[in-house]
Amino acid sequence: MATVTKTFDYSGTLQQATIPPGTTSIDIIIWGGAGGGGGADAGGPGGVGAAGHHVKKEGLSISSAQINTTIEVAVGGGGAGGSSGGGAPGGNNGKSKTAFSGGNGGNAGPQPYSGAGGGGGGATVVLIDDTVIAVAGGGGGGG
């Protein structure tokens, strides 16, 4: 059977594809969303967020029962950057499938020039028949 490549980019929604007849194995290469940077404070710029994790699964066997079933992909979004200023809000999390989104960044302290934490990146998740096949964690937010 010819090789079929399907790329999924972050969309904020669960994406789906059907496993075509003749498929015997699949390769999965995924990255989690990056963490957002921290907000600047009196000491200087905030820290950078970490990169999302990378997962590669090659030759994952597909059974005949999985042919014409749905493969679902939730691509994790990047965390938002933290704000600057007393009491400024932390960055929002990187969205993904429920229970796989990143954490929100912490709020800035009360001082006039404080920096809030960046939001964590969302995990990228691949499922077949509602079974998790692969997860790449999101990166942590910067401080």
Could you list the mean pLDDT of each consecutive 10-residue stretch along the chain, which spans 143 residues? Answer: 84 92 94 95 92 95 94 95 92 87 91 89 94 95 93
Q: Are strands 124-128 and 70-74 parallel, antiparallel or unpaired?
A: antiparallel
Calculate the CA dihedral of residues 130, 9, 106, 89 and round it to 10 degrees. Answer: -120
Token digits for 104? 């929100």
pLDDT score recorded for residue 1: 59
State the amino acid at position 1 in one-letter form.
M
pLDDT score recorded for residue 67: 94
pLDDT score recorded for residue 99: 84
| CA–CA dist 40, 37 (Å, integer) | 9
Listed in order, strand segments (DSSP E) in 32-143 are 54-61, 70-74, 124-128, 131-136
Q: Contact at 8 Å (CB) between 33 and 83?
A: no
